[in-house]
Amino acid sequence: MPRPMTVTEKILAAHAGLAEVEPGQLVECALDIVLANDVTAPIAIKEFRRIGVERVWDPDRVVLVPDHYTPNKDIKSAEQAKMMREFAREQGISHYWEIGCMGVEHALLPEQGVVGPGDVIIGADSHTCTYGALAAFATGVGSTDAAVGMATGEAWFKVPSSLKFVIEGELGPWVSAKDVILHVIGMIGVDGALYAAMEFTGSTISGLDMDGRMTICNMAIEAGGKSGIIGFDGVTADYCGPRMQRQWTVQLSDEDAVYAETIEIDASAIVPTVSWPHLPSNTKPAADSRDVRVDQVVIGSCTNGRLEDMRVTAEVLKGRRVHPDVRLIIIPATQAIWRQSMDEGLFDIFMDAGAAISTPTCGPCLGGHMGVLAAGERAVATTNRNFVGRMGDPKSEVYLASPAVAAASAVAGHIALPDDLA
């Protein structure tokens, strides 16, 4: 009989053709998807050429999404996108999206049914761990590893140990999945899950929709995690059922699986949370952050640019105006989310409040464009990183928060809770 295994171990064992694996073991796994974007794909393409391979291993399993600097902000970014575009055409890659049909990659791939339960996915972007919300093993790799994956359909992994986060109870008013993961990162630190699979479970997680689950798994990397994962259940099936383009495989953790550590969290202890500069782990309650003046607010990204995020933002902004000293930028993460937000009348609320609405892009999250900060400016953002210079000048500051707190801060002119607004 195979040893009891976690869901991560089971997925890796299945893709390695093994009956069982254990933490620390090196395994060679077949891949389901290899992903790259306009920052990382050009490097991968050059490496792909250098190793002398003429064709990708499967043009239906290689995904290219120019999303970081698109629409192109300058000549260099245009050249990066052009290289991707020409490679996609040459190789007959079916999953290539750009302006007019594109989106932020980690919102787009689940929406389009490209990734799903039981998959092993590598992406030349650290937030590839988002897809763990679909009960998949998904992790970021370097561009060279992506090139080898594109050529062979395989990758080596060291099987990670698993940390189990059991979160029980109901979340309080205005407390969201973003607050859950910021709370966790604040507890364990940016290296608290170093090269571990962060497995999230409990009644709080079961009660989250897929948008919230993706937000949590998206930021596993900010705790040093190799991956984040949430087990398959009815929410997973309902989300993937109408979308998934191929069959999936369900893997579940054994009840007696061995974890490196189990951390139990009472959901009632989680409050609206803000990460202060310059680490995601530098967390404080939003209620204790009201003295922070704000110049810009960005609501979007692969962490919080999904439809539910747009709806919460509209709920806070409805009937209110953005503070005259604040620039509010709202970025739906995909064309489908953009259209649905427009159809639901959310754009009217955003524009009446004085916000700017962008086409889907990563843009300001990495200081690319559509909201770069000058020296001395402060931003509240629903993004995932607040390192020095992350969104612009090294002397600027980024505070990470949920869409509800970000929207309230845009109105108040300082970090605020929705309940603070008149």
Per-residue pLDDT tens digits for 48-61: 999 999 999 999 99
Please give the residue that has the higher pLDDT: either 102 or 148.
148
Q: Note the pLDDT tens digit of each residue in 129-175.
A: 999 999 999 999 999 999 999 999 999 999 999 999 999 999 999 99
Confidence of residue 6 (pLDDT cuts 50, 70, 90): very high
Q: What number is the average pLDDT over the span 353-360?
A: 96
pLDDT value for 98: 87
- 3-class DSSP state of 47: helix
Residue 2: what pLDDT?
A: 76
> 217-228 burial string, b = 16+ CB within 10 Å, else e?
bbbbbbbbbbbb
Question: With bands split at pLDDT 50, 70 and 90, how would you rate the model's confidence at 101?
Answer: confident
398, part of any domain: yes
Q: Are 69 and 82 in contact (CB under 8 A)?
A: no
Spell 196-208 as b/e; 16+ CB within 10 A means b: bbbbbbbebbbeb
Determine the Cα–Cα distance for residues 37 and 80; give it in Å rounded to an integer.
9
pLDDT at position 1 over 80? no
Please indicate, yes or no, whether residues 218 and 297 belong to a single structural domain of this protein.
no
196: left (phi over 0), alpha (psi -120 to 50) or beta: beta
> Among 232, 265, 298, where does a domain finish?
265
* Helix 210-218, helix 307-317: angle, nearest 10: 100
Q: What is the CA radius of gyration of the chain?
A: 21
Do residues 258 and 279 both lie within one domain? no
* End-to-end Cα spacing for the chain: 63
Domain containing residue 297: CATH number: 3.30.499.10
Judged by DSSP in three states, 145 sits in: helix
Q: Is the residue at 409 inside a domain?
A: yes
Asked if residue 412 lies in contact with residue 323, where contact means CB atoms within 8 angstroms, the answer is yes
Cα–Cα distance for residue pair 92/284, rounded to 1 Å:
48
**Residue ranges of the alpha helices (H) in 123-207?**
143-152, 177-188, 203-206
Same-domain check for residues 180 and 284: no
Longest dimension (CA), the chain: 66
Among 247, 265, 283, identify where a domain stops.
Answer: 265
Same domain (yes/no): 194, 338 = no
Residues 373 and 409 in one domain: yes
Q: Which two tokens stand for residue 269?
A: 């202890």
On whether the CB atoms of residues 138 and 123 are closer than 8 A, the answer is yes
Average pLDDT of the chain to the nearest whole number: 96
Q: Cα–Cα distance between 25 and 274 in angstroms, integer?
A: 37
> Does the pLDDT value for residue 263 go beyond 80?
yes
Q: Which two tokens stand for residue 242?
A: 């109408």
Q: How many domains in the chain?
A: 2
Of 265, 282, 301, the last residue of a domain is 265
Shared domain check, 251 and 282: no
Mean per-residue pLDDT, 83-102: 92
105, 129, 163, 173 from 170: Cα distances, Å: 30, 25, 22, 10
Q: Are 4 and 130 in contact (CB under 8 A)?
A: no
What domain range includes position 89? 7-265
- Rounded mean pLDDT, 276-299: 97
Give the pLDDT confidence score for residue 102 in this predicted structure.
Answer: 84
Average pLDDT over residues 80-86: 94
Does 422 fall in a domain?
A: no
Do residues 291 and 253 share a domain? no
Contact 7, 164 (CB under 8 A): no
Same domain assignment for residues 92 and 165: yes
pTM: 0.95
Same domain membership, residue 402 and residue 296? yes
| pLDDT at res. 99 | 80
- How is the beta sheet containing 378-381 ordered, strand by strand? 283-285, 273-275, 397-400, 378-381, 296-299, 327-330, 356-357
Provide the pLDDT for residue 15: 98
- Which sign does the torsion angle of CA 407, 100, 45, 69 carry? negative
Amino acid identity for residue 388 in this structure: V
pLDDT the model gives residue 422: 73
Confidence of residue 100 (pLDDT cuts 50, 70, 90): confident
